Amino acid sequence: MPDPQRKRIALLATGGTIAGAQSTTQAGRYTAGRLSADDLIAAVPGLAALADLTCEQVASVGSQNMTHAVWAVLAARTTALLADPDIDGVVITHGTDTLEETAYFLSLTLPWCKPVVLVGAMRPATAMSADGPANLYQAVALAATESAARFGPVVLMNDDIHAAQGVQKMAAAGVAAFASPNSARLGVVAGTRPIWAPQVGPSLEATFGATAAQFDVRQHAPHTWPRVEVIYSHADAQGDAVDEAAARSQGIVLAGVGGGYATDAVMAGLERAVARGVAVVRATRTGSGFVARNIEVDDDAMGFMAAGWLNPAKARILLMMCLLAGQSPQVIQGAFLRA
C-alpha cells in the first residue's frame, strides 16, 4: 500500500557539472554531462528516503551548449508532469552556466502550481567535496515541500533558494557562485526543511493560488521562435555590429554600460534597428540595478524599451517570448517593468 504522505518527485536530468566526471579526483579538467540521472541519484545517500523518485534524461550537455530545442522539451515535459496527479514536484539537474536562463524561461512558460526546482553543482561529481550530492538532496527536499510552488521554478544552490527572475551566476568558480543581487535569496534549506527569508513572509503562502503559464510555447517549434541577439557595450564600441545583428534578428538587447547605455555610434545603430522594425531593449552589463526609461536616453523619441530588473540574458528571453506572442512595444515594455 503506497504511503499517501510520501511525495513523488520527477527528476529531469540535462547534464552539467553536477553530472561531470574527471579522469582523476585531482584533475582540474573534467567533462560536463557524463553521468546519467540514475548515477546522480545513486551518489546521494538517503535520497530514496526523502521521496519516491522517477528520472528521465532529457539531455546530456554542458549548459554552455543549452539550446532552445532542449528548452522546448523541458517546457513540454515539465508541463505534462505538473498536470500528472501522481507527481508532487519536479527537480531539473542542469549545468550552472545557463542555469538562470533556463530557470527564467521555465518561469515564463510553466504553470505555477507545484514545486519546480533547478539544481546544479560547481564541482564535478568525481571531485573531492563535490557539491552536487548535497545540492541534489536539498533540491528533492524542496520539491517535496508544497509551499515552494508559490515562487514558480526556483534555483537551489549551496543551501540557498533563489527566484528564477533574480538569480545570477556571479562567479566563474567556487561553490558560492550564485546570488540574487537585486532582491536577495528567497530562503535556505536547513537539512530537509526550507526556511523562507523574512521578506518573503508567511502571508504569501496563504494567498498562493495556482497560475497558468504566462506563455505557452508548446504550439511553436523552437526554430520559429524570434531571434533576439545581445550586443555587449564597451568603450569605443562601433555601430556596425548592431547593423549586422539587426539584419538577422527581430530583437536586440543592449548589455549596456551603467544604466543601459552605449557609445553614440551604438545608439545610432540601435535607432536604425528600430527604424527597420527590430525591437530594442536596453539592459545593463553591471550585474545589478534597475534600468529605467528616459534617464540619459530619450526612449520615447528613440523607440527603445528599458529592461527594468532583468539582466541581458534574461531580457533576451522575455523579449523573445513577447515577440513570439505578437505583443506591441507598449505591452512588451509593461512586461519588462513588471518582471
Task: Give me the least distance between CB of 30 and ligand ASP, in Å please.
Answer: 9
DSSP β-ladder status, 21-22 and 30-31: antiparallel
Please, which residue, 62 or 251, has the CB nearer to ligand ASP? Answer: 62
For residue 80, the SS3 value is helix
Torsion of CA 327, 332, 67, 89, to 10 degrees: -100
Which residues pair with residue 178 across a beta bridge?
A: 169
Chain residues 40-99 in contact with ligand ASP, contact rule CB under 6 A = 62-64, 95-97
CA–CA dist 256, 264 (Å, integer): 12
Exactly one of 9, 32, 148, 167 binds ligand ASP (CB under 6 A); that residue is 32
Residue closest to ligand ASP, measured at CB = 95
Task: Give me the least distance between CB of 98 and ligand ASP, in Å please.
Answer: 6
Please, which residue, 20 or 260, has the CB nearer to ligand ASP? Answer: 20
Contact in structure between 211 and 309 (CB atoms under 8 Å):
no
Please, which residue, 17 or 107, has the CB nearer to ligand ASP? Answer: 17
**269 φ, ψ (degrees, to nearest 5):** -60, -40
Number of residues forming the site for ligand ASP (CB under 6 A): 11
Please, which residue, 27 or 275, has the CB nearer to ligand ASP? Answer: 27
Task: Give me the least distance between CB of 121 and ligand ASP, in Å please.
Answer: 6
Please, which residue, 93 or 165, has the CB nearer to ligand ASP? Answer: 93
Cβ within 8 Å of residue 209, ≥6 positions away? none
Please, which residue, 50 or 70, has the CB nearer to ligand ASP? Answer: 70
Chain residues 270-309 in contact with ligand ASP, contact rule CB under 6 A = none
| DSSP code of residue 64 | G
Q: Is 17 in the site for ligand ASP (CB under 6 A)?
A: yes
Cβ within 8 Å of residue 333, ≥6 positions away? 293, 305, 306
For residue 330, the SS3 value is helix
Which residues pair with residue 56 across a beta bridge?
A: 12
How far from each other are the two terminal CA atoms of the chain, in whole angstroms?
45
Exactly one of 89, 111, 115, 120 binds ligand ASP (CB under 6 A); that residue is 120
Catalytic residues: 17
CB atoms within 10 A of CB 245: 21
Burial class (CB in 10 A: 0-12, 13-18, 19+), 4: exposed
Task: Give me the least distance between CB of 103 and ligand ASP, in Å please.
Answer: 13
Task: Give me the least distance between CB of 32 and ligand ASP, in Å please.
Answer: 4
Q: Is 122 in the site for ligand ASP (CB under 6 A)?
A: yes
For residue 335, the SS3 value is helix
Q: Is 22 in the site for ligand ASP (CB under 6 A)?
A: no
Q: Which residues bind ligand ASP (CB under 6 A)?
A: 16-17, 32, 62-64, 95-97, 120, 122
